[in-house]
Amino acid sequence: MRHISIEPPPFFHRGPSPLTRLAFFGLLSLALLFADTRYRYLENVRQVVAVALYPLQRAVQFPGEALGYLGTYFASQQTLASDNAAVRQQLLAQAPAVQGFPLLEQENARLRALLGMAARFPETATAAEVLYSGRDPFSQKLFVDKGDVAGVQIGQAVIDEIGVVGQVTRVFPYMSEVTLVTDKDHAVPVKVERSGLRSVMYGAGTGRLPELRFLSPNTNAEIQPGDRLVTSGIDGTYPAGLAVAQVTSVERETGQVFARVTCKPLAGVERDGQVLILSRAAVSLPRPDEPTEADAPRKGRGRRRG
Amino acid sequence: MAQLSPFAAARPDEILLPAKPWFVLFTLVCGLVANTLPVSGVALLLKPDFLALMLLYWCIQEPRLIGVGIAWCVGLLMDVTDATVFGQHALAYAVLAYAAEYFRRRVLRFPLWQQAAQVAVLLLACSALVLVIRVVGGAPTPRWTYAVGPLVGAVLWPLITVVLQGPQRPRRPAER
């Protein structure tokens, strides 16, 4: 007969008491929390564990992918035909713009040359598939299936067919983590497409709409609900001119220093399947030197004028 | 003697076979996998922390096999999968395992649906701990829907108990 699962009486030696163990592991976790948030010592450990877990994550994807594959395999003739027609129509609709593009590009290059500006780096991009979205309700993150091996780097912008999704914040060998523009305090430098007004869009976290901060309430005509926001490109992370969001409301309260502007991301930030990782734009110009003490004699005195 | 139903939990006087370590490991891996399932919308809202549920089950049923230490290690894996700060799930799971070890005799005395109520409290406490760590770290406070996941987990408790106890029920015809 097999032995029966009954606890031994407590006078047998059973190692340290649960409370001791809890205290030990509790302190260890607090130390880890501190080391990870303050100093980021543990990124290497994270990399190793992430690689070990990767096969498991792919395995989870498999049933869904297989189902999707079967679904498309058995798609009816009619769906395919109608899809084809729609795509053809779309192609036709875009034809004028596409045909005009080389001309515009040449013209643009000439104008830029005239202005003496550096030509924009021809951008390459990596297509990636979304593995899963972080389960964490506190942060807005995606995991995509291209990583270090595919040449992805931290800080690259991620877009979908409509607009900006976010940027790469962590790179593992076979996957990378993308922080969405809706993540709390994720900042994207934007400008209003219609008026050229520049601002910064800050994510507000799960379930809340991002907002533009530090806009003066006097900018009456320059921003209105319905305006499209595009990247301004001044941060060197996001190339200029990508669609980001649409303004949903502008509240101007006379008592406030800044207007309260909320906007809605355009890209399918929370429901994408495929995304594009843009390579870094041209090597950004070196930062100007920090002003030395002699240059800034009255530092911290008086109000800064901007 | 009363009939032992395979569709109800073992009564306190029913003696179960010991759980096999590989089976425990398998269920924990399943919990981890279930946590990484790509879901969104309402499903994401309802999704309980399966791994915490599995850990809680085994800490209550087999405290000699799974304890604070293993719960802590599993929590670290969860931190990597979720890309959250290291130590956050580890701490929450270690505390959960300790609470399970402390309350297990009381929990096991009750019928399943009353166990579920107590499990709800434990799971809520576990996610409240994660919440505190996150908010201290500067995250925004989530909405009240944050509490839905643990409650769904508690609702699943009777089902999980019955399913996971299956391999441990003695085979009656063979032994009598």
| pLDDT mean over B47-65 | 86
Q: Which residues pair with B121 in a beta bridge?
A: none
pLDDT at B162: 84
Instruction: Give chain A's length.
Output: 306
- For residue B40, the chain A residues in CB contact (below 8 A) are 133, 270-271
Residue A161 has pLDDT above 50, yes or no: yes
Q: Is the pLDDT confidence value at A299 over 50?
A: no
On whether any CB of chain A is under 8 Å from the CB of B30, the answer is no
pLDDT value for A283: 46
Handedness of CA B5, B10, B15, B17 (dihedral sign): positive
Tokens of A301: 């005195």
Distances, alpha carbon B4 to alpha carbons A134, B13, B14, B16, B73, in Å: 43, 11, 9, 12, 36
Calculate the alpha carbon distances from A197 to A219, A229, B150 in Å: 9, 9, 45
> What is the 8-class DSSP label of residue A89?
H
* Residue B149, pLDDT above cutoff 70: yes
Q: Give one word for B91, left, alpha or beta, with left for phi > 0 and alpha for psi -120 to 50.
A: alpha
The Cα A233–Cα A238 span in angstroms is: 6
B:52-71 residues touching chain A, CB 8 A cutoff: 62-64, 67-69
* pLDDT at position A14 over 60: yes
Interface ipTM above 0.90: no
Is the pLDDT at A81 greater than 60, yes or no? yes
Residue A58 above 70 pLDDT? yes
Residue A171 has pLDDT above 80, yes or no: yes
Nearest by CB to residue A136, choosing from B62, B77, B84, is: B84
Residue B1 has pLDDT above 50, yes or no: no
Q: What is the mean pLDDT of residues B74-100?
A: 85
How far is residue B46's CA from residue B147's CA, in Å, rounded to a whole number? 9
The pTM for the full model equals 0.64
Could you count the other beta carbons within 10 Å of the beta carbon of residue B94? 30
> Looking at residue A36, what DSSP letter applies?
I
State the Cα torsion A76-A77-A83-A89 to the nearest 10°: -160
Does position B4 have pLDDT exceeding 60, yes or no? Answer: no
Phi and psi at residue A95, to the nearest 5°: -55, -50
Q: Output the pLDDT for position B13.
A: 62
Per-residue confidence band for B22, with pLDDT thresholds at 50, 70 and 90: confident
Residue partners of A162: CB distance under 8 A and separation at least 6:
A243, A266, A267, A268
Residue of B nearest to A30 (CA): B87
Distance of CA B91 to the CA centre of its chain: 15
- In the three-class reduction of DSSP (H, G, I as helix; E, B as strand; rest coil), residue A276 is classed as strand
Confidence of residue A67 (pLDDT cuts 50, 70, 90): confident
B3 pLDDT tier (thresholds 50, 70, 90) = very low
Residues 228-257 of chain A whose Cβ lies under 8 A from any Cβ of chain B: none
Over 50: is that where the pLDDT of A259 sits? yes
- Of the residues A33, A57, A58, A274, the best mutation for testing chain B's interface (the one with the most B CB atoms within 10 Å of its CB) is A33
Neighbour tally for A214: CB within 10 Å: 10
Q: Please compute the mean of the pLDDT values over residues B91-104 and round it to a whole number.
A: 88
AA letter at B161: T
Q: What are the distances in angstroms from CA B22 to CA A49, A93, B65, B151?
A: 21, 60, 11, 28
Mean pLDDT score across all residues of chain A: 76
What is the mean pLDDT of the segment spanning A17-24?
83
d(CA B41, CA B60): 32
B71 Cβ contact list (under 8 Å, min separation 6): B55, B59, B93, B94, B96, B97
Instruction: Kindly state the DSSP code that residue A282 receives in the 8-state scheme.
Output: S
User: Residue B40 — very low, low, confident or very high, per pLDDT cuts 50/70/90?
Assistant: low
Q: Are B89 and B130 in contact (CB under 8 A)?
A: yes
Quick one: what percent of chain B has pLDDT higher than 90?
A: 1
Mean pLDDT of chain B: 80
User: Which residues face A166 on adjacent strands?
Assistant: A158, A180
What per-residue confidence (pLDDT) applies to B37? 72
Percent share of chain A, pLDDT over 70: 75
Judge: A29–B91 Cβ closer than 8 Å, yes or no. Answer: yes
Residue A137 is nearest to which of B72, B81, B146, comparing CB atoms? B146
Confidence of residue B2 (pLDDT cuts 50, 70, 90): very low
Inter-chain touch B91–A60, beta carbons under 8 Å: no
Is it the case that residue A295 has pLDDT exceeding 70?
no
pLDDT tens per residue across span A193-240: 888 888 888 887 766 788 887 776 666 667 888 888 888 878 777 888
Please tell me the predicted confidence (pLDDT) of residue A302: 44
Rounded Cα–Cα distance for residues A303 and A218 (Å)? 20
β-pair partners for A191: A198, A230
pLDDT-based confidence at residue A290 (cuts at 50, 70, 90): low
Percent of chain B with pLDDT over 70: 84
Of the candidate ranges A35-49, A116-130, B41-55, B128-142, the one whose mean pLDDT is the lowest: A116-130
